[in-house]
Structure 1
Amino acid sequence: MKYMIMTFGDVTDWDTLGLGSGEATWSEEDIAAHFQAMGAFYDDLAATGELVTGYGLADPTHAMTVEIRDGRPVASDGPYAESKEVLAGFGIVDVASHDRAVELAARFAAIVQTRVELRPVMDGGAADL
């Protein structure tokens, strides 16, 4: 069963880590420890064969929204309009049970120090649920 583990953040979170346009507010040691913990989490999942993929996302100032208007694509700068929270990163795991997915999401939440969203990936449609 595949699940996506998503973490959300405020647009200023990238500055906290020195990844946005502002100055980092965490120490270099704290930033290094954070990325080391994330790397260890993904390394553990790769070792168990449960990791499908996972990435952090770029600063939301690089985001675009794309829609179709009058049959033509229209791209606009920025993440979703009026959104205070933005998707910061995600991982996709392939696990034996829902309980295991919850266990991994809890580990991820502890690392990123915030609530995460866990959602099943529908490989074959609604029958997956």
Structure 2
Amino acid sequence: MKYLIMIQMNPTARAMWDSLTEEQRAGGYEIHKEMVSRLQASGELVISEALSDVSLGKRLAVQDGVVTTTDGPFAEAKEYLAGFYLVDCENIDRAIEHAARLPEAGLGLVEVRPVMELP
């Protein structure tokens, strides 16, 4: 079954990340590289991506066939999606086992959710 491991970001975590040295940041990136390697080796990785800053995104609305967009960031965005891993695991416990290795899990910024299988 597929599970989405979502990594959130918030202002506190962003400030903490920004305060790290280049060496400390490199260590954080290394943990994610190791995660990708481990998931590839086990055949459980579907895809993984880090997302660019929320301020670079667009929000859209379609009304009567007309698309309108607005720039980010959004003042109401207290947390936002910073990246994800889509994994294909035997069960949610296995997906949680992987997610728990992420440094962001120590900050309560990781969520694991089953992917709905549509007919």
Q: Report the TM range for the smaller structure's normalisation.
A: 0.7 to 0.9
Matched, 1:92 2:86: yes
TM-score w.r.t. the length of structure 1 is 0.80
Partner residue, 1:78: 72
TM-score w.r.t. the length of structure 2 is 0.86
Match of 2:95 among 85, 96, 101: 101
Checking the alignment, whether the CA contact within 8 Å between 1:11 and 1:60 is kept in structure 2 is: no
The C-alpha deviation readout for 1:53-112, integer Å capped at 9, x for no partner, is 11111011101101112321111101556121111111100001121112112122xx22
Match of 1:114 among 104, 107, 117: 107
Amino acid at match of 2:56: H
- Structure 2, gaps ≥5 residues long: none
Checking the alignment, whether the CA contact within 8 Å between 1:66 and 1:76 is kept in structure 2 is: yes
Match of 1:49 among 32, 43, 67: 43
Query: Larger relative CO (CA 8 A, sep 6+): 1 or 2?
Result: 2
Return closer, same or farther for 1:15/1:81 CA change in 2, 3 Å cut-off: closer
- Percent sequence identity over matched residues? 38
Partner residue, 1:21: none
RMSD across aligned positions (CA):
2.0
Cα distance in structure 2, aligned partners of 1:85 and 1:97: 27
Pairwise CA distance, 1:51 = 0.4
Cα distance in structure 1, aligned partners of 2:77 and 2:41: 36
Task: Work out the number of aligned pairs and report it.
Answer: 117
